[in-house]
Amino acid sequence: MDLLQCTAHEIRDLLRKKEVSSKELTEAALDRIDKVDGTLKAFLHISRESALTWAEEVDKRFSEGQEMSDLAGIPMALKDNMCTEGLPTTCASKILQNFVPPYNATVTEKLYQQKAILMGKTNMDEFAMGSSTENSAFSKTKNPWDIQRVPGGSSGGSAAAVAAGEVFYALGSDTGGSIRQPASFCGLIGLKPTYGLVSRYGLIAYASSLDQIGPLTKDVEDCALVLNGIAGHDSMDSTSAEGKAVDYRKALICDVKGLKIGIAKEYFGEGIEEGVKKSVYAAIELLKSLGATYEEVSLPHTQYALPTYYIIASSECSSNLARFDGIRYGYRTESFDNLTDLFVKTRSEGFGEEVKRRIMLGTYALSSGYYDAYYKKALQVRTLIKQDFDKAFEKFDVLIAPTTPTPAFRLGEKTDDPLQMYMSDVCTVPINIAGIPAISVPCGFIEGMPIGMQIMGKHFDESTLLRVAYTLEQHTAYHKERPVL
């Protein structure tokens, strides 16, 4: 048995039966990283020694018969914008290349408490700004299905690491599709939870009203296990939602009888590849054959989602990234004449082109004389987009659409045309604008490359999303396919 091809829940069962040890798993994962990551570039930092130490501790607890969590002893990875005490957290940016946080993000702490084994930090688009993981200051991550293609972004390193069998699951962050889009490109399950369900404390902010942490996994059951491990109220995060704890494993029911599905017609228009449409509709017909019903629904303000997103996100990033000035932490230019010169040179040398582009766009949108015309207007349109979803969910249990317009594109294909790159997020950004949950599930292949179907749900109704995704998964085999490296 190739352990690294197993799912996290399969590994959990093997650990509990003592058929494998956490140290064996960790050593196998490290060997896999040594073998393939020189090509893939999924990782920025490897925590080799600490991972082996934690694994030995977990094995000791298992041998003593202690009750352990579902995630105990299982190798995983974190996107490099989630703080890890004693381990670099760079956001794939030169400006933070030597930053080692003095504290853990809440999700990091929760996974540590459950004795998960952190293998390292994964590559990403700098400060999570991008759709291809080509904007990293350190390396470009490759897609395990075809190393000439991108893995998606900005959580491309996390997606590539899971798809390549380097870890069993990983966390990413999703501001406008950055979990779901790489999940689609790499043949994985990717969940963007409801805004506020998972704490953002210790997540280095890009756009605070849009960012959300979520899992990238090999199947839906793994997704439920990881969500159980990271969801919940956090007093350290003022936007964290209060509510009763939910066991998402109970949502893993293979049954969609009576489920009402809305087909968001605006998501099947111009720019969506025909092969993607066919695969998504085939999955919808499968759900219908299993007892669900569907009909078309209109979300009329979808056409304004992309410009609305880029105005809001850029404005918030302009504010959030103002703290990186060479004074308190991070990179500082070596030569400067005065304080202003220090700021200008540090930020000019420390930030990449895409980050500068979005900071400038956001600063312009927030400036005197333009605030009302751009940022305020974008917030008003945001309300209309949310109302579209609210109205649709009065009639439907879930909405379904493609996750991405196309399969993974080739490295360098869109780097010279930012607007074309932004269009790859056209199906995912409305979900972040509305704050609702959405999950990407593999639904087919085009020329050997995986594609995903996006299932959208009501606020805090992740259970229904998982039930629909699980039902689809149990009647298809796309999630069982693995890339050959």
Catalytically active residues, by annotation: 79, 154, 178
Retrieve residue 190's tokens: 């990717």
Given a contact cutoff of 8 angstroms between Cβ atoms, the answer to whether 403 and 184 are in contact is yes
Q: Which of 51, 58, 53, 57 is nearest to 72 (CA)?
A: 58
β-sheet bridge partners, residue 456: 399, 438
CA distance 314 to 370: 14
* Cβ partners under 8 Å of residue 286, min gap 6: 472, 475, 476
CA distance 129 to 136: 9
Q: How far apart are the two ends of the chain, measured CA to CA in Å?
A: 17
CA distance 77 to 193: 18
Q: Which long-range contacts (CB under 8 A, 24 or more apart) does 62-66 make?
A: 62/15, 62/16, 62/18, 62/21, 62/22, 63/18
Is the alpha carbon torsion for 116, 121, 127, 131 positive or negative?
Answer: negative
SS3 of residue 400 by DSSP: strand
Is the alpha carbon torsion for 350, 354, 355, 357 positive or negative?
Answer: positive
